[in-house]
């Protein structure tokens, strides 16, 4: 495990949800409740990038079949996905968002 810079705080804040590539690992970053969260970027139902989905509150809706995941816990909130998406610890250091990956 290693803390790695994924984006600037300003970029995540402005975009709300965005993708990041950390050493080949596809990550989605979210700005929720004045904090940053990270999950794996690929939906657990089929192949779709959650960073292209719709963020509402602390939930991300998959753009393909509309499964909903809680971005803080990774848990499924609405099917058709039934498996939680992996989450990663995040922290802010200065202007940088760091993800433990």
43 or 98, CB closer to ligand FES?
A: 43
Contacts 24+ apart (CB under 8 A), 68-76: 69/39, 71/28, 71/30, 71/32, 71/37, 71/39, 72/32, 72/37, 74/39, 76/44
Region of 2-10, 23-31, 40-48, 89-97 interacting with ligand FES (CB under 6 A): 40-48
67 binds ligand FES (CB under 6 A): yes
By the criterion CB under 6 A, which residues form the site for ligand FES? 43, 45-46, 48, 62, 64-65, 67, 80-81
């Amino acid at each position: 495990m290693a803390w790695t810079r994924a984006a600037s705080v300003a970029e995540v804040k402005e975009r709300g949800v965005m993708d990041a590539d950390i050493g080949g690992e596809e990550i989605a970053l979210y700005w929720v409740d004045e904090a940053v969260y990270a999950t794996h970027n690929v939906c657990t139902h089929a192949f779709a990038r959650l960073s292209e989905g719709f963020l509402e509150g602390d939930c991300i809706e998959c753009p393909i079949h509309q499964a909903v995941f809680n971005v803080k816990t990774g848990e499924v909130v609405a099917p058709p996905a039934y498996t939680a998406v992996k989450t990663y610890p995040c922290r802010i250091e200065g202007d940088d968002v760091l993800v433990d990956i």
